[in-house]
Structures are given as structure tokens and as C-alpha cells.
Amino acid sequence: MSFVDWISQPVNWVFLVIGLGVAAAGFRVVTSKNVVHAALFLVASLAGTAALFLMLSAEFVAWVLVLVYIGAVVVLFLFGIMITRAPTGFDEGLDANKKALPAILSVALFLLMSWASITAFGTTAMENVGVATSTELIGESIFGRFVIPFEVVSIVLLAALIGGITIARKDPTPAEEEERRLV
Amino acid sequence: MILNQFLILAAALFAMGVYGLLVRRNIVLILLSVELMLNAVNINLVAFESVLATPEAIGQIFAIFVITVAAAEVGIGLAIVLLVFRNRRSANVDELNLMRW
């Protein structure tokens, strides 16, 4: 399959626009000089990923991504940024000084992974694009074959919730402890 | 659509995440880079599911599990960042040299 064949399909134009947007936003996440901008570019990257999931007819996963990541995780990140870096603004000290070696390493990693996937899969076409994976199927799968991993993950979430509260709350000073005992 | 266009995009996102992980000094930004890498993995899982078309949608289930664990990781990670910041007045990894040999 040549590039002309590939680009002549309209669905690939959509992919090209969204994919370049996702990659550009991801690049700005790791290079932006402003912490809040980095978090907001992550939102753009994740929204583009959700659109790609819709293209792959994975509707439930796309909306889970929007709800959990954009709705909750990025808000949590913004809270973390506001608490630890106020006042926020452009800051030159966000990056380490030595950037050449990580850049070479990540480019080499990208080339290696691309080479591996190209040699392994070539032009394998998508099979069931346009056939939506129904949420019913996902629900039956989660509560059927994957019910034990599901329960384990729920325990992990509960432990993370309790652990987060316990770690982040202020320990009372000895004077406060004494006061509390007297009351 | 072919499989490789998704795999290569995911590889690019993963490489960007690795770059951010190595270059950034602030812990919050390092966690953002980790999210980028997990997102690349999710793209791979959903793309492979679209090719293999398993009867139980296993790839999408795994993507949901990855999203869930990532949410737990961010909650704990930011709680630790908060604690470190409260004790050391800084959230930069190169200034946290208490346990450095």
C-alpha cells in the first residue's frame, strides 16, 4: 500500500489531523515553560486520543477517558500545581540543564519502536472499523470473565483513596494532640 | 486505516513521555509525562482490539483497567508531592537530596 493509496481514504485525513494534533499537544506537554499550560496541553492530547478511540469504534473507552482523565485527573493535577507552585507563570527552571542525551534517547526509542511495528505488522488493515463495541458487551465482559480483576482494581482504588487522605493530611503537633485529649 | 498508523502515533507519544520524564525537574510535570506514556499504551490496546476483534473486547477492558490504575496512581502521587512540598518547600527532584548517597 503506497502513501497515495493511504491518503486517498477520507478517514485517514481525519486521522492525520487528529493524530498531528495529539502529537503536537503531547510535545508541548513536555516542553512548555508554563506548568498550567502543560496540564492544559495534556487535556488537548487526551481529547484527541478520545476522538481516535471514537474512530476505532471504542465508544465506552473514549467517554471513560474523557470523564476520568479530563474530568478528574487533570483537575487533580491543576490542584497539585496550584498548591506547590503558586504563583504560576513562565518559569525557565522547569527543565534540567542536560537535554541532549534524553532527546537522543527518546528519538532512538521512537525509531526503534516504529521500526519494530513496521516490520512486524506492515500494512495490516483494521478489521471491524465502524462496528461499534457495545457497552453491553463490555459490561458483560467485566462482570463475567474479568470480575476478579475488577474487584482487585476496586480494592486498589479504595486503598489509594484512604492512602491519599492519610498521606496528605497534616499530623497534629504534640500540643494539639494534648489539647484533643483534654477535650 | 491500517494498524501501524496508530502504533507509530503511540510510539511518538511514548517517546515524548520518556523525554519529559528525563528532562523535567518538577515532580508534578514528571507525573504528567507518565500520564502521556500510559495514554500511548491505551492507544495501542484499543488499536490492537480493533484488529483482533476479540469476542469479549479484551483490549478495551485492559484500557479501562489502565485508566483506573492511572487515576489511583495520580491520587497517591499528588498526595506524596504535597507532603514533600510541605516538608521541603520545594517540588523539584534535584533538590530532594536527603537520601542521596
A14 vs A63: CA distance, rounded Å: 19
Contacts of B29 in chain A (CB under 8 A): 35, 38, 94
Q: Is residue A111 part of a domain?
A: no
Give the C-alpha distances (Å, rounded to integers) separating A131 from A54, B36, B41: 11, 28, 22
Q: CB contact, 8 Å: B96 with chain A?
A: no
Does B9 touch chain A if contact means CB atoms closer than 8 Å?
yes
Tell me, yes or no, whether A35 and A49 share the same domain: yes
User: How many Cβ atoms from other residues are within 10 Å of residue A165's Cβ?
Assistant: 11
Chain A, 16 to 45: residues with Cβ < 8 Å from chain B are: 19, 22-23, 26-27, 29-30, 35, 38-39, 42, 45
What is the pLDDT, as a whole number, of residue B65? 94
Q: Among B36, B41, B94, which would you mutate to test the A interface (most chain A Cβ atoms within 10 Å of its Cβ)?
A: B36
| Subunit contact A65:B28, Cβ cutoff 8 A | no
Count Cα atoms within 13 angstroms, Cβ side, for B63: 30
B99 domain-assigned: no
Residue B96 forms part of a structural domain:
no
CB–CB contact B61 A138 (8 Å): yes
- pLDDT the model gives residue A155: 95
Residue A101 covered by a domain: no
Q: Per residue of chain A (183 residues), what is the pLDDT tens digit?
A: 777 888 888 888 999 999 999 999 999 999 988 888 999 999 999 999 999 999 988 899 999 999 998 888 888 888 888 887 766 667 767 777 788 899 999 999 999 999 999 999 888 887 767 777 888 999 999 999 999 999 999 999 999 999 998 888 877 777 777 777 776
Q: Are residues A5 and A53 in the same domain?
A: yes
Residue B62 lies in a domain: yes
B54 has a pLDDT exceeding 70: yes
What's the grid cell of residue A146? 474479568
Q: Are residues A31 and A67 in the same domain?
A: yes
Nearest CA in chain A to B82: A168
The pLDDT, as a whole number, for residue B101 is 63
**Bridge partner list, A34:** A90
Residue B75 resides in a domain: yes
Q: Is residue B100 part of a domain?
A: no
pLDDT of residue B83: 87
Same domain as A55, residue A141: no
Is the Cβ of B20 closer than 8 Å to some Cβ of chain A? Answer: yes
Determine the structural domain holding residue B65 and report its residue range. 3-90
Does A124 share its domain with A140? no
Same domain, A84 and A146: no
Residue B98 domain flag: no
Bigger pLDDT: B98 vs A73: A73
Q: Which residues of A touch B88 (CB under 8 A)?
A: none
Q: What is the domain count for chain A? A: 2
Report chain B residues whose CB lies below 8 A from the CB of A51: none
Does the residue A110 lie in any domain?
no
pLDDT score recorded for residue A138: 92
CB contact under 8 A, B1 and A129: yes
In a domain, A19, yes or no: yes
**Residue B72 is nearest to which of A9, A122, A156, comparing CB atoms?**
A156
Q: Which region among A93-102, B10-19, B49-58 has the lowest average model confidence (pLDDT)?
A: A93-102
Q: How many helices (H) and strands (E) does chain B have?
A: 3, 0
A52 and A120 in a single domain? The answer is: yes
Confirm whether B95 is domain-assigned. Answer: no
Binding-face residues of A in 147-176 toward B, CB within 8 A: 149, 153, 156-157, 159-161, 163-165, 167-168, 170
A8 in the same domain as A85: yes
Give the pLDDT confidence score for residue A183 in this predicted structure. Answer: 67
How many domains are there within chain B?
Answer: 1
On whether both A149 and A164 belong to a single domain, the answer is yes
Residues A33 and A122 in one domain: yes
Q: Specify if A15 maps to a domain.
A: yes
For residues B46-57, give the mean pLDDT: 88
Specify if A105 maps to a domain: no
Q: What is the CATH number of the domain that holds A86?
A: 1.20.120.1200
- Is residue A84 located within the same domain as residue A1? yes
Q: Tell me: do A38 and A124 sit in the same domain.
A: yes
Query: What is the ipTM, given to two decimal places?
Result: 0.90
- B28, A85 Cβ separation under 8 angstroms: yes
Domain span at residue A146 reads: 134-183
CATH classification at residue B57 = 1.10.287.3510
**A84 in a structural domain:** yes
- Percent residues over pLDDT 70 in chain B: 98
Domain presence at residue A21: yes
Tell me whether the omega of the peptide bond preceding residue A87 falls within 30 degrees of 0, making it cis: yes
B87 falls in which pLDDT band (50, 70, 90)?
confident
Beta carbons of A129 and B80 less than 8 Å apart: no
